[in-house]
A and B are shown apart, each in its own frame.
Chain A
Amino acid sequence: MTLSSSVSASHRKPSALGRNLFIYGLYAFIFVQVLFPLSWAFFGAFKSPSEIFAYPPSFWPRNATLENFQNVLTRGSFARAVWNTVIVSAVSVVLTLALGSMAAYAISRWNFRFKDTFLVVLLGLQLIPSTVNIVPYYLMMNELGLLNTLTGLVVIYTASNIPITIWLLKGFFDTIPVSLDEAAAIDGCSKFRTFFSIVLPLSLPGMSVAGFLAFISCWSEFLVPLVIAPSRDTTVVSVGLYNFFGPDGVEYNALFAATLITVAPVIVAYLFAQRYIVSGLTAFSEK
């Protein structure tokens, strides 16, 4: 083993070295093109107004300050927007996972006629974009009296995230052997008990991916809240940021601080969920 690998390594050595240099060169390019624009906003959040508008511009903040965060969260309505977004996202994610996981479990365990058709229709529905539905959404929410309410947002977010959740979790539940369910039934577990104490704990990775996807979609959604809930009391962070970016004199330092507050939860969630993302989404696109 050692011998053969060292032989082949020495055979390939010159080209392997060149190849690796080439790969890491490209890595550096990706690294810079992704992180440079972001780092600009990140460091900008810690700069004072005078430094933001100084020429030539600085990359690292000279006198790092937390003043921007303080201002953004105490002045104006951004703190309210953060709170609204937290509530709406949390409620929507919990509802999506609860309803979606039960539906997915039912689809995974029981056969019914047109099951495959149902699944394909579900996938098709997932692909109807909110851009097309935005006018009907507005009129429906108006009829239901849910314009400018957080409830209206929760309803739309939950409904639009359930199809992909069902798809992801159904694929996951299919990998859990039915014999486990049967063993539980013999031991006297009810269907619900089986689901909650046996299947759900085993599906934690699947639930994390589904929950993460639902979370970033709720947290980032822009068009729906812009149209459905634009009032001051129901603003969410994406709309709040957009309003910051008014036509006259952008306060970039405040904007950057607000951006950082908006992005932080998503990045943290991403760091936890990223291991599962590639495998989870692959299942969605080919299963």
Chain B
Amino acid sequence: MKRNLKIFNGILFVLLVILILSPIVLDDQFILNVLIQILMYATIATAWNLLGGYAGQLSLGHALFFGIGAYTATILHINYGISPWLGMIIVVAVCIILCAIIGLPTFRLKGPFFTLATIAFAEVARHLALYWRELTNGSVGINIKFDPSFTNMIFQKFDTYYLLILLLLVVTLFITYCIDRNKMGYYLKAIREDEDAAKTLGINATKYKMYALILSASITGIVGVFYAQFILFFEPESVFNINISAQVALIAIVGGMGTVFGPLLGAFIVIPLNELLRATFPEIHGMNYFIYGVLLIVIIIITPNGLYPILKKLWLRFFVKDSSKGAGN
């Protein structure tokens, strides 16, 4: 029995590796592009999930960290020749400082007030980026010259980008998995369910919320750097936009908040849906987003806890039925 399980696991694993490497082998740039988008959002959503799903603090301002990542690394790169790889580390430091400044006061707020505060912070950042033209080039945006090299973190083909973001995602998932199974995970979930009760049990809510925020923010910032090096052009509207924050949160919610793989699942649903809808109905203006809005409502109402728990239940039923069959024999 155990051997069968091991073989099954092994086959599954090999299948997965093949699937992951296939776009590179097939050299399909289009699929790679879509996958990179999906994985980017999956990474940010998984990071968001640490704060939103596990700690229960709903942030709609994650674009703040995304934009900080993009701008900080790029400004350092263009003005001082600092490689984006080093830039990523600097971005993490910046995010930590930012979290300390923002987190401490806002963690006193509950529910919608916390959310509104996060929106406000991201909006302030967006306006600052628009008006501090000497630093950010304002609304014209920043254009990174296409000069492929490893130190520049610019690559001719999408393959390397794909592997890079895949790595980021796996690391983020691993971090989430560890937290989920650990003391920190329990504390965060306790805080989410009832912060006051958790506090009476001796849990330092602010400390753990801050850990979650720092992890969440830093990862998002790093993806921001990746984005800048991938797209090679951005402006305040494209990185500090509230739509990015909303999309990230949506992905985590649709996929399943508070689960390790929920956001990943959500990304695989929401991003292709977006692309697909945009490609359809080019004649009727607005039809694509109208359907998107309606679908959003429907999905949210049908699966308020996300898709992942539902899939898990279905699988369990299937799985349990199987093993009981085996036992009966």
A and B part of one assembly? no
> Chain A: residues with CB nearer than 8 A to chain B?
none
